[in-house]
């Protein structure tokens, strides 16, 4: 009888640990999928707002516990670096800031870009941009 209770307890622990592990792995997969989708949206934003964008490379993601924001660095056309921060990973609407060094940033804004609505109000328009002729190097590979 005691052996049966012991085996039941061991089995219950294995099931609980397995469940926690599966939940953690699923959460990580979902986070990576969100990052990749957001990278695609960022690429569309850059193509929409800047002239002659040919190549976009994402250098990875970081999370700041102090501010609660996510950030990524993007290299455009191998010579222009731009840093973006987000309050969450689900959409461009969560954009927090865009930073670049004006003396080294080589991209030219499209005509009248400064008169456009904020990004959060242009998401539908931005998402309709095609990336067919643009080389996009994601930091997150499919299946990671």
φ, ψ of residue 133 in degrees (nearest 5): -100, 15
Residue of 78, 74, 77, 122 whose CA lies nearest to 100: 74
pLDDT value, residue 24: 55
Is 111 buried (19+), middle (13-18) or exposed (0-12) by CB count in 10 A? exposed
Distance of CA 88 to the CA centre of its chain: 9
CA 116 and chain centroid, separation = 23
What is the average pLDDT value for the chain, to the nearest integer?
85
| Mean pLDDT across 114-135 | 89
Percent of the chain with pLDDT over 70: 81
Q: Quick one: how far is CA 107 from the chain centroid?
A: 21
Query: Which DSSP helix (H) or strand (E) runs through 57?
Result: strand 55-64
Strand segments, DSSP code E, in 1-144 are: 55-64, 69-76, 80-86, 95-99, 135-137
Distance CA 57, CA 43 (A): 9
- Domain positions in the chain: 2-137
pLDDT per residue over 60-115, tens digit each? 999 999 999 999 999 999 999 999 999 999 889 999 899 999 999 999 988 776 67
């Amino acid at each position: 009888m005691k052996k049966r209770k012991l085996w039941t307890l061991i089995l219950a622990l294995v099931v609980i640990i397995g469940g926690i592990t599966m939940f953690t792995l699923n959460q990580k997969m979902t986070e990576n999928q969100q990052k990749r989708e957001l990278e695609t949206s960022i690429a569309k934003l850059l193509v929409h707002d800047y002239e002659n964008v040919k190549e976009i490379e994402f250098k990875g993601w970081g999370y700041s516990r102090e501010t609660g924001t996510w950030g990524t660095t993007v290299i455009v056309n191998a010579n222009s670096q731009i840093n973006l921060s987000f309050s969450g990973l689900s959409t461009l609407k969560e954009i927090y800031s865009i930073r670049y060094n004006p003396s080294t940033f080589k991209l030219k804004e499209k005509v009248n870009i400064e008169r456009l609505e904020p990004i959060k109000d242009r998401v539908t328009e931005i998402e309709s941009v095609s990336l067919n002729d643009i080389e996009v190097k994601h930091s997150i590979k499919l299946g990671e």
